[in-house]
Amino acid sequence: MLYDIQQKFQKKAYEYSKHAVDQMIHRNIRVREIEEAIFRHAEVVEKYPEDKYGPSCLILGFTSSGRPLHILCSYPSRPLLKIITTYEPDPDCWVEHKIRKPNG
């Protein structure tokens, strides 16, 4: 799945939801950082095949400066991959940015 998502990024076959753009502005996350994180030590950490808005997954990746980012996106089966939201994982909620802590 990650390979297919990366292919969508290489082909520029993706778009940002309004929510993602709003959150990127609020959290000071740049488009360049999203692109870096998709290719730097990226991995799918959670899958949501039954999400009410359509199948999606959570990717962990790192910017060139080492900033961890979570990127929630649609499955790559759509013609355009949808970036739903993105954020820096809260260490109080995540173990090594990958595993949800209980009650996190």
Question: For residue 78, what pLDDT is reported?
Answer: 86
Please name the residues in contact with 68: beta carbons below 8 A apart, sequence gap of 6 or more: 37, 60, 61, 62, 88, 89, 97
Where exactly are the structural domains of the chain?
2-89
| CB contact at 8 A, 76 and 8 | yes
Phi-psi region of 62 (alpha: psi -120 to 50; beta: other; left: phi over 0): beta
- Strands 68-74 vs 43-48: parallel, antiparallel or unpaired: unpaired
Please name the residues in contact with 85: beta carbons below 8 A apart, sequence gap of 6 or more: 17, 19, 20, 23, 72
Question: For residue 83, what pLDDT is reported?
Answer: 97
Q: pTM score > 0.75 for this model?
A: yes
Q: What CA–CA distances, in Å, run from 51 to 17, 68, 73, 103?
A: 16, 24, 11, 20
| CB contact at 8 A, 61 and 40 | yes
Question: For residue 29, what pLDDT is reported?
Answer: 98
| CB contact at 8 A, 12 and 5 | no
Q: What is the pLDDT along the chain (104 residues), one digit of tens a residue?
A: 999 999 999 999 999 999 999 999 999 999 999 999 999 999 999 999 998 889 999 999 999 999 999 999 999 898 999 999 999 999 999 999 999 998 75
Question: For residue 97, what pLDDT is reported?
Answer: 94
